[in-house]
Amino acid sequence: MDGLGKIFGRNAQLIVLEHLITNRGMTTYLSGIAEATGLSHSSVARVIEPLLDLNIVKEAKLGKQIRTFTLSEDNEVTKLVMQFYADLEKILGE
């Protein structure tokens, strides 16, 4: 179990956030996140919305139906979460 999961428990939103942090700089889509995390497409769609609302995740549309997502690394909240994640991983040795 990862550092964030050890502290906060495992839930879909945390799994998605950690996936985006560990793959920062990359653009992905709902199905890609679902496949990589083992979550259902509907779970990813549900939990990505609060991350979008907080501007932790940026969304772009490709065509009419494809939504792509990337971590909003310039957001102050995202910076704090990424730093916390990095520090936690160092302390827990993961």
Buried b (16+ CB within 10 A) or exposed e, 7-20: eeeeebbbbbbbbb
Each residue's pLDDT tens digit, 2-49: 666 666 677 899 999 999 999 999 999 999 999 999 999 999 999 999
pTM, two decimals, is 0.84
Q: Compare 91 and 19 and report the one with higher pLDDT.
A: 19
Q: Which domains does the chain have, with CATH numbers?
A: 3-88 (1.10.10.10)
* DSSP state at residue 24: T
Q: What is the C-alpha to C-alpha distance for residues 66 and 54, in angstroms, rounded to an integer?
A: 21
